[in-house]
Every structure is written in structure tokens, then in C-alpha cells.
Amino acid sequence: MRRLLPHLLALSVAAAAGCKDTPSLGPAPAASMAPVPEPAGLVAEVMIPKPGQTWARLRTLVGGPAAMLPQSFGMGAAMLLGLSPKVAELIDAEVPAVGAVTSDGKVELAVLAIHVRDGQKVIDDMTAGPQAKHLARVDAVSKVTLIEPKPGETSLNASMGVTGNFLLLAYAPDALLKVGPYAARTVSTRAMPPEDVVVVSRREALGGPVRARVRGWWSEAKKTLEEADQRDRERHGGAAPTFADPKAAVAKADQTFTSLFALLGDLSEARVALTVDDAGAHVASRVVPGSKDGPASIEIGALTVGDARPLAELPEEVSLAMLSRDSQELRKRGADDQLVAIDNLFQGKLGDDDKKRVRALLDTWSQGRGDWIGVGASFYGERRVFGRVAVADAKLFDQSVKGTVELLKVPAFREPLKHWLGELKLAPAAELDGGAGTVIKVVRTPPAPAKKPDPSKDKSNKLHRTGTEKQEPQRFDVAWSISDATASFVMSDSGRDSLRDLAKARDGGLGADPEIKRALEAVKGDAAFVLLVLPMRTIAGLMMARVPKEPPPPAPIVLSLGRKGSDGYLQIDASTLAVRELAKIRSVQ
């Protein structure tokens, strides 16, 4: 669906494909507009209830270059599609525009149908008279009138046709004939939703062509990954990688996709809606389980949900933050999978004693922590990491943190990490003065820069650590404290100062900013996962050589995933300023 939606939204303002030259067969006969059955491989239906209003809202939202586009939907569509002003005047922006998408598992066909006041006048304007650059050809089966360029004339910006009073737009003529009638004659009869753009996929599509398409994509991607891994092993004499075996990662991904295929087959509906208002753009997707005890219901019902308050209580300097919720039962069940993942990451170098130690640590962690964890990173000014986690058992939680640090001293962990992260020297855990918490001081010596080998001596084209250039050590603290069933943790130059700043943020952190507060409060109490991004501050902190004294506006983007009743949902809310800034970045790429 991620791939299909951009196609359909693009069709609402422009398309990019040409048509083949064909002779004219005369004017179009009157076409019946009675509803028709679903085309084979129907994936989704698209509805734009008020295209004129949506065009105006999007134009205002994006600002900048979009302000150069015509104010009316008709003129905008005509300009982008290469149509005359006469056709633009015939486009009816107050009547819903509709669309449909089909797939045979390999190729998608998408059509958008825009209502016009008089379909025959559109045909005449484009094909009649000696100056006309196009021909009209009526398809005998679908009764769609195809509008095609005359021999020697430039192709249109989209494949176009007319049926009744609908102008059909597609990437290919086949879509006009196979999908166009269904969009214009059937989807147009649906009850229109309140949102600006809605895409709906139903059970037959989700368990049929959608699942087949995703399965085909993963099959190709898996094959590519496995072939790349095999080539890499052959360059190294058949040896497996010393760290993070791709074969194990692909196997784990294969299990994930197998579960996804089962979920797709158990959904009765998936819906994606775009709403644009003064606050910004909002994309809300929702999936409805098809049975009460199927895999979709089980997966959605197992989600632990709540609000986004822990993110609001992070320091105001944070520009990227994440909140995750899960239950102790899920953490306990996931310990086995995590142990396998860790063993695969370190290429089976963990001995039996090491595995027992890791498993005990995972069990202690799952029992010691509570149902949520929130983490934020600051890239603006001093780079620091802040976090809070709910604590179920303070003693076990403290043991799990100290145990994790001790694991870094085990050779099976230390040596691979040294190659990739550099040498880590960790001081023993010490109490901060006044019982403010616990701190571990870390000195990290980065690995030598990677360089490409001499091609005449090494054909692998792989980066190698030279080990000859001295690297300056980096010093930082990892500190934590536990109070009131919540643990606070930081990673920064000064653990004491950062813990103090994190404590102060409860009364004046991210949530003190009105825009961020509104964005986080919109999550309500139904989120299992929340991602907060302040793109302008993140980009400034990561890319500017000198960070301005005053931080840029927050311009929040919030992604949340969770459960509403028995349905699963994924929502993205982007502020107006965030959309405009991202559009500017996109326009200069």
C-alpha cells in the first residue's frame, strides 16, 4: 500500500506516461454509467470528496513553490496535464474525484476519474478541428473514449480517456480500459468520507493481490540479499562474517514476513485517510480484523497502550524521541527470540555459560522494568541521550543495568564490538554524591578509519581497519537513578548534570511548548509506540557547522501506532512548518 498511495495521489495532479498512436474512429457513442462489477485483482478504491477544497488546502499547506500553481483545481490539473483552458473550465471541482487500483501480483494499474461538466465537450476540445493534436478512439468493450496524440505530436503527460462525464487519467492505456469504468461508474456511487483523500482496501484484496504483491516483493528482495551474502563469502574464501551474519538476519526477516502474510489474510479492511487543516497534514491508517480469534485480532489485542506523556516530560532540547509500551508477558515470551538474535549477532561465539548469563539478564530486565520506556536524543548543542522507563522492581532493574555493563567485558562481546565501535573502557559503577544516582564513566577509543585496499593486492573491494592512525579518546558518562517506580537514565559528558536536567523537565520539558503539547496530546491513550521528530532542530544539529544560538521552531512530526477498540491504527501528524521545510529540502534535491 505504501507504493500504491503515492501513485494515486500523483494522479490527482499529474501523471507521467504516453500513449501509442492510433487512428480516429469518430465521436463517442453515449456510454452507460450503470455500476459495473469489480475488475480482476482489485486492490483499492480511492475517494477525493471535494477535489477543489483539497487542492486549495494542499497548496496552502506546502506553500513556497506550490504557491506558484494555479489557485483552482481545474486550472492546476490542466497545467500539469497539458490541457487547454477550455478543458480546465469543464473540470468540476465540487464533485468527488474517484479512483481504483488493480494488481496481478507484478504490475499495478491505477486510474483517477475526475468529474467534468460535459464529457463530449472535453473530447471535442481535444480532438475536433484542424488544429487538434489528438484523436478520439472508442474502445468497443469498455465504451471508454481514448484520447491519443496524432502521429508526430507530443504525447500527453498521462494516458487519458473519457467515459460519461468523467475524465480518466492513468499511467497506461490498459488501465483506462480495465479499471476506468469501475472507478467512474461504481466507486463514484460510494458514500463519500469526511477526509480529504481516502484509500480503502477490503478483505478479498488484502488476502489476494495485496498479499501476493508483498510476497513477490519479499521473494525478490530475499533472493537479492542471499546472493549478495554468497558473493561476500566467496570473496573471503567461503568464511562467514565475524559479526552480524546476514544469513541469520534474512532468516529472521523471513519469519516476520510470514507473520505479515497471515495478518493480511485475516483483515477485513484497511483504510488510509489524508486530512489537511490549519495545523498541518494528518495521515490515519486503520486495519480491521476479519475474525475475533484470528492472528490479526490476537496481534492487535496484545498491544499495551497508553498516552504520550513520558515524551512530554523529556528536556526541551530533545529533537528526536521514542516511546514504546509492552507487557511483561510479551517481554518474557520474547526473551528466547532475543537470545537467538544476540547469538546470531555475535556469530555463535557465545559459550553455554555466556548464553545462560545473557538469558538470566534478559529475564531480570523483563521482570525489573515496567510497561513503557521513553528515550530522547538531543542533537542541538551538546549531544545527549535522555530516557525514562517504568520500573516494576527497582532491585532487579538496577541489577539488569549493571549486568549489561558487565557483559561488555566478556570477550565474546568485547572483541566484535571493539572492531566496530572501538575500545570501550568502563569504570566500576559508582554512587553519585548525595544519592543522586549511579554513574559509570566510559572512555571510548574509536577504531582506526576504514580504507579501501590496494586493488592490485586485494580484489574484495572491502573497507579494512588500518590500525595505524591514533584516535582521540571520547569520554562520557552513563548514569541512572530510580525514584517513584520510574528510572531515569542519561548518556552525556556529565551524568550528574543531565540527570538534574531530566528531573527538571517534568515541570518544563518538551510539553511546555504549546505546539508540541498539542501534537502529543492528540495521541490520546491508545498508543503502543510513539515517535516524535522535530526535523528543523534535528537537521540543524546534525548538518550545521555552527549551531545558531536560538533553536529553530519545533515543527513537530508525530507517528503513533496502537489500538482503537479492536482495530489497529497507524497515524502520522505533521505540522504545517514541518511539511513546508521538508518540501523545500525535496525541491532542491
Higher pLDDT, 111 or 353: 111
Question: Quick one: average pLDDT of 433-439?
Answer: 87
Amino acid at 539: I
Do residues 571 and 273 lie in contact, with contact meaning Cβ atoms separated by under 8 Å? no
pLDDT in tens, 239-272: 666 666 677 788 888 888 999 999 999 999 999 9
Range from 3-7, 49-53, 145-149 carrying the lowest mean pLDDT: 3-7
pTM: 0.85
Q: Where are the beta strands (DSSP E) in 335-452?
A: 369-378, 384-391, 423-426, 430-431, 438-445, 450-451
In angstroms, the Cα distances linking 132 to 83, 150, 544 are: 12, 9, 54
**Residue 477: CB atoms within 10 Å:** 20
Amino acid at 432: L
Higher pLDDT, 185 or 584: 185
Helix, strand or coil, per DSSP, at residue 471: coil
Helix, strand or coil, per DSSP, at residue 34: coil
Averaged pLDDT score across all residues of the chain: 85
Do residues 65 and 585 lie in contact, with contact meaning Cβ atoms separated by under 8 Å? no
Question: Sign of the C-alpha dihedral, residues 499, 477, 308, 534?
Answer: positive
Do residues 123 and 30 lie in contact, with contact meaning Cβ atoms separated by under 8 Å? no
Q: Where are the beta strands (DSSP E) in 472-553?
A: 474-483, 486-492, 527-533
Amino acid at 302: A
pLDDT at position 438, please? 92
Dist. CA 204–CA 186, nearest whole Å: 17
Length of the chain: 589
Listed by start position, the domains of the chain span: 4-192, 302-588
Q: Which three cell numbers stand for residue 155?
A: 504525447
Dist. CA 588–CA 417, nearest whole Å: 38
pLDDT at position 347, please? 64
Residue 203 confidence class, pLDDT cut points 50, 70, 90: very high
Residue 23 confidence class, pLDDT cut points 50, 70, 90: very low
Dist. CA 408–CA 171, nearest whole Å: 55
Look at the block and give the residue holding cell 576504514: 450
pLDDT in tens, 461-494: 444 445 555 678 889 999 999 998 999 999 999 9
Helix, strand or coil, per DSSP, at residue 320: strand
pLDDT in tens, 56-79: 999 999 988 787 889 999 999 998
pLDDT at position 526 over 50: yes
pLDDT at position 42 over 60: yes
Q: Which three cell numbers stand for residue 131?
A: 488544429
pLDDT at position 202 over 90: yes
Dist. CA 155–CA 81, nearest whole Å: 11
pLDDT at position 370 over 80: yes
Torsion angle defined by CA atoms of residues 403, 405, 409 and 415, in that order, rounded to the nearest 10 degrees = 120
